């Protein structure tokens, strides 16, 4: 399947970090881990049997502290992500992440028990953009990003919107809402406000909905479900590239 060009529109940057990179960065930063080999680390960071979404999301806490707040690591994971995707045959990818979860400054609370540093959410977006851009140049594919609001952190959402606005011409193509859906978003009007403002400002919007829970979760979905956030002209070029490769497009999710 990897011989034909692929388009990937839903992949989490912080869920796609190379295990070797985690071990390498931990070593450089002097972070002690309960795992020291790749196979031990895989066991620690991944799930191998079905569980709840909450259990699955808890895996992030095993390794996010390794890369969060570290400029080189943040840029590196973005760059390596593009390399991996290019090797898989992906020609266009949209990757999503929460800038706040990788920051250690200007964020309340600071995640993963990090000490306060000087990497703000804004700096995180800048670093990821740099990594993606460098990856695009070196591996000749297109990589864009989507910034995630987090369900449990409504006070971050307006900042996410501001970052989407600031970087919309620098690789950021949309805003997302991610995290544990067992939290009822109706109780958090700040998410709704951010989405309404995003619409007014022409920011594309998507949202995680329906991974767990009843249809009411999906109902919370605010004007989403419009995938591929490339501008029309670029989207056409991409479709032509796919059309050329496959002869026809049977099922497209654009």
SS (H, E, C) 95-143: EEECCHHHCCCCCCCCHHHCCCCCCCHHHHHHHHHHHHHHHHHHHCCEE
Cα–Cα distance, 174 to 59 (Å, whole number): 25
130 is catalytic: no
| Cα dihedral sign, 239-125-160-180 | positive
Strand extents, DSSP E, 40-141: 90-97
From residue 199, how far is each of 61, 167, 236 by CA, in Å? 32, 16, 23
Question: What is the CB neighbour count within 10 angstroms for residue 43?
Answer: 14
Contacts of residue 252, defined as CB under 8 A and 6 or more positions apart, other chains included, come to: 239, 242
| CB 88 within 8 Å of CB 11 | no
Strand extents, DSSP E, the chain: 6-12, 90-97, 142-150, 172-178
Residue among 20, 55, 88, 211 flagged as catalytic? 211
Alpha-carbon Rg for the chain, nearest whole angstrom, is 18
Catalytic amino acids? 211
């Amino acid at each position: 399947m990897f011989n034909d060009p692929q388009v990937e529109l839903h992949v989490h940057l912080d869920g796609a970090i190379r295990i070797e990179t985690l071990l390498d960065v931990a070593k450089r930063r002097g972070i002690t881990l309960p795992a020291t080999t790749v196979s031990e680390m895989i066991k620690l960071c991944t799930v191998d049997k079905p569980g709840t979404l909450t259990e699955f999301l808890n895996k992030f806490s095993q390794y996010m502290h390794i890369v969060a707040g570290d400029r080189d690591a943040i840029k590196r994971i973005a760059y390596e992500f593009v390399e991996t995707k290019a090797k898989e045959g992906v020609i266009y990818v949209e990757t999503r992440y929460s800038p706040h979860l990788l920051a250690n400054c200007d964020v309340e609370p600071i995640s993963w028990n990090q000490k306060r540093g000087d990497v703000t959410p804004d700096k995180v977006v800048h670093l990821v953009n740099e990594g993606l851009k460098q990856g695009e140049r070196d591996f000749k594919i297109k990589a864009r990003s989507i910034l995630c609001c987090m369900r449990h952190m409504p006070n971050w959402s307006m900042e996410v919107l501001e970052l989407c606005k600031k970087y919309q011409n620098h690789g950021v193509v949309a805003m997302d809402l991610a995290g544990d859906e067992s939290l009822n978003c109706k109780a958090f009007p700040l998410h709704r406000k951010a989405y309404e403002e995003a619409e007014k400002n022409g920011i594309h919007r998507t949202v995680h909905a329906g991974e767990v829970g009843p249809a009411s979760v999906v109902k919370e979905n605010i004007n989403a479900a419009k995938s591929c956030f490339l501008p029309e002209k670029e989207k056409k070029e991409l479709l032509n590239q796919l059309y050329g490769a496959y002869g026809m497009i049977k099922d497209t999710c654009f």
